[in-house]
Amino acid sequence: MPDQAGNVVLAAHRDTFFRPLRKIHKGDAIELTPWNGSHTYRVESVHVVGPNDIGVLEPTSECKLTLLTCYPF
């Protein structure tokens, strides 16, 4: 769940919900608003990974948000 320890991973298509990610930069804020309240994350890094690079899906002990989409936009 957002705002708890662990890696929250969300995936969406680059031409729909995640289209704004084409302009994302380190330091930008991302706000999630699930049923239990609003949670803000800060962008620490932006990476292009290959389709077999599943390391970005690994669990973490910290609060982390990972967004996945197709590239290029």
Q: Is residue 21 part of a domain?
A: yes
Average pLDDT over residues 5-31: 94
CB 52 within 8 A of CB 34: no
Q: Confirm whether 32 is domain-assigned.
A: yes
**Residue 53 domain boundaries:** 6-68
Q: Report if residue 73 sits inside a domain.
A: no
**Among all residues, which ones are annotated catalytic?**
13, 70
Q: What is the pLDDT of residue 2?
A: 77
1 in a domain, yes or no?
Answer: no
Q: What is the pTM of this model?
A: 0.87
Please indicate, yes or no, if residue 64 is contained in any of the structural domains.
yes
- Taking only the tens place, the pLDDT of each residue in 33-72 is 888 889 999 999 999 999 899 999 999 999 999 999 998 9
Is residue 60 one of the residues assigned to a domain? yes
- Is the pLDDT score of 1 beyond 80? no
What span, in angstroms and rounded, lies between the C-alpha atoms of 70 and 46? 13
Q: How many domains does the chain have?
A: 1
